[in-house]
Amino acid sequence: MRRTFAILFLLFAAAALNSQVLEPVTWSFKSEKTGENSYEIVMTAELEEHWHLYAMDIEEGGPIATSFTFEPGEGFTLSGKTLEVTKPEVKFDKSFGMNIGMHSEMAEFRQKVTVAQYPAVVKGYVTFMSCDDKQCLPPRDVDFAVEIKGTAKAVTKPAEKPADKPAAAETPAEPVLQEVTETPVETTIQQGTPVPVLPVETPTEEPKKGFLKFFLLSMLAGFAGVLTPCVFPMIPMTVAFFSQGSDKKGSAIGKALIFGISIILLYSSLGIIVSLTSAGAGFANTLSTHWIPNLLFFILFLVFAASFFGAFEIVMPASWVSSSDSKVDRGGALAAFFLGVTTVLVSFSCTGPIVGALLVEAASGDVLRPTIGMFGFGVAFALPFTLFALFPSMMNKMPKSGGWLNSVKVVLGFIMLAFSLKFASVVDTVYGLGILSRDIYLAIWIVLFFLMGLYLMGRIKFSHDSDVPHIGVFRLVLIIASFTFAIYLVPGLFGAPLTRISALLPPRETSGFNLLKAISENRGGGAVVTTTGGSAICGTPKYSEFLHFEYGLEGYFDLEEGLACARQLNKPVLIDFKGHACANCKEMDARVWSDPEVQRRIRENFVLVGLYVDDRTKLPDSEVFVSKVDGKEKKTMGKKNEDIEISMFNTNTLPLYAIVDPSGTPLIETRGTDFDIQAYIEWLDRGVEAFRNK
């Protein structure tokens, strides 16, 4: 009864607005091929801002759930139930007094179909109810018809069916079909065995997604550079330069702007040089995985940290500074430019390590990152100088120089020392040295951040440090953050995943002691992995002496072995393209593969194959081959796996997850970085279903 009154109330509210026809939901329908004679009808709803669509699964007493009705037809059969691909967001609905799942902006639903003869036309209608924060519209039906012609995809423009069915004399509009032809592609898994591959979706947003985040990080580094003892005291001197010798306010403003722009151009030019000398993705991959650059960066960060601790100063040649400073006396716009140059050179003893660390991080990514990073650093570094030059009265509110400036340097030294281990860990992991395990890595971090907290309390002093007579509010916040982070790291020593920082840490399997794993094995939670068909693997995998899966999962590290086992067990293959130095791969392991339901599905339904594209293990002479992709000889396991990924899926992004049958043919679309656990589970289930319907 409560549900009836609620719906009647919402319908009357909608009827009161009959002077305005609202259509906040637009439906589109298409088909996607997932295997031989296997398709999925993809039904997508796009919603206007502030409107929502109810989920398919609604408790009794709630609103009208979204549902799909398929009409019987010749030439095809439906497989399973309609899947709600987009995970609904659960919110409390005041009208119904309950938590209800709903979709905003976009919702995707899929229905599996097996086609027996072509062409096949899948017809039906969707029933749904849409609301915003103030009103609801009556339940509506939208007709659809999707035609499947062989390997063609058909996209329909829906003909809408009102809530009240039309009279028999009225003829509903016919759906408009638009065909998109799929072209079969051939590729090779290894040394020449052709495998037909379906067009697949590959993640393309990940590299671009980090630009804004990196720009903001670079600006933060620029502000940190200003708050150092060799930069902060220069602000009053530069303001004095713009304040004297000119009675014209406009002239002072012009010179201040030239001064600020000069600093930005100098730092940006440094970024442009690094960008131009970076040879694209190959250069970034070398920096990320090769032992030479990573060892150099490790040493470089140690040197930077020692400099900030006061062991020595990194300075520019005195002749450069003197030459630039001598030109400041000439006056005018040129003097403002050379004052900017002098400021950059003189401050290099403090900003040099920050700039160097930023360029190391930037050069390990997209070719544009160095320029973006240095531009952000230059903007933040120049901003205080320029603002104080434009508004000298702000100087009165500026904090005075003192021992806190040196504290900024020392804190940055602790942070650089901690991050230096990241480069040492890459060398250790990629080359399988087994020196810097996860527990040793975490132990060093715990000590470093504990010492940083003691330093901020004044219990530890470095050269040039002054006494700490009292602790201010901001320093107290930093002390709390340091000790809290150190305590947060402690469970990682015993096997905790530390999900939020997993991208910065070595893999969990490198730990010498994993208490959580030991408890699980003693309880029988993961010591032996079996399936209804026997063991989850068919024998001892190659490279298993130094490569392992987390969470007790078993699998292969060679695609040929994995496919052979899949044929023997009659299972689909889950391929995990990953890297030792891949931050997103570690984060996916920690945030998605740690879920018990994900692990259960992988164990029971798949033969797991992990392919490291950055591993430097040499291939036996008998396995060395010349790639058909680039014509180059592949001599390492990583290069072989990278060639497989490019050949099969035309991408080298990491991580990349693919579900294929025992012959290597993809069953559904690939998947990249996505931390939605439920969506990942549904993707695994669709892969199993596609294999069973094959």
How would DSSP label each residue in 604-671? HH-EEEEEESS--PBPPGGG-EE-TTTS-EE-BHHHHHHHHHHHHHS---SSEEEEE-TTS-B-S--B
Which of the four pLDDT bands, split at 50, 70 and 90, describes residue 199?
very low
The pLDDT tens digits for 272-286 are 877 666 544 445 555
Contact 37/114 with Cβ under 8 angstroms? yes
Which of the four pLDDT bands, split at 50, 70 and 90, describes residue 327?
low
DSSP H helical ranges for 309-434: 318-326, 332-346, 348-363, 369-390, 403-430
Euclidean distance between CA atoms 575 and 671, whole angstroms: 10
Euclidean distance between CA atoms 275 and 268, whole angstroms: 10
Residue 628: phi and psi, rounded to 5, are -85, -5
* The pLDDT of residue 558: 94
What mean pLDDT is reported for the chain? Answer: 75
pLDDT > 50? residue 164: no
* The pLDDT of residue 615: 84
Euclidean distance between CA atoms 419 and 302, whole angstroms: 9
Share of the chain above pLDDT 70, in %: 68
pLDDT > 60? residue 73: yes
Average pLDDT rounded to a whole number, residues 602-624: 91
Average pLDDT rounded to a whole number, residues 596-617: 91
Give strand ranges (E) for 490-580.
530-531, 534-535, 573-578
pLDDT > 80? residue 442: yes
Taking the CA atoms of 188, 191, 192 and 195 in sequence, report the sign of the dihedral they define: negative
Residue 586 vs residue 393, higher pLDDT: 586
Average pLDDT rounded to a whole number, residues 462-468: 78
Average pLDDT rounded to a whole number, residues 330-353: 71
Euclidean distance between CA atoms 102 and 90, whole angstroms: 6
Euclidean distance between CA atoms 219 and 217, whole angstroms: 5
Q: For residue 671, give the nearest of 639, 638, 649 by alpha carbon.
A: 649
pLDDT > 80? residue 14: no
Average pLDDT rounded to a whole number, residues 603-611: 94
pLDDT > 50? residue 37: yes
DSSP for residue 165: P
The pLDDT tens digits for 628-682 are 877 888 888 988 998 899 888 888 778 899 999 999 999 999 998 888 999 999 9
The pLDDT tens digits for 264-313 are 888 888 778 776 665 444 455 555 667 787 788 888 888 888 888 878 77
CA angle 576, 79, 71 (to 5 degrees): 140
DSSP for residue 90: E
DSSP H helical ranges for 499-636: 515-522, 559-569, 583-591, 596-605
Euclidean distance between CA atoms 256 and 250, whole angstroms: 10
Average pLDDT rounded to a whole number, residues 516-527: 48
Share of the chain above pLDDT 90, in %: 20
Highest mean pLDDT among 20-24, 59-63, 540-544 belongs to 540-544
Tokens of 5: 């009154």
Average pLDDT rounded to a whole number, residues 602-616: 91
| Residue 451: alpha-carbon gap to chain centroid | 31
* The pLDDT of residue 263: 85
Q: Is the pTM of this model over 0.75?
A: no
Euclidean distance between CA atoms 202 and 608, whole angstroms: 20
* The pLDDT of residue 523: 46
Comparing 163-177, 303-317, 457-471, 669-683, the range with the smallest average pLDDT is: 163-177
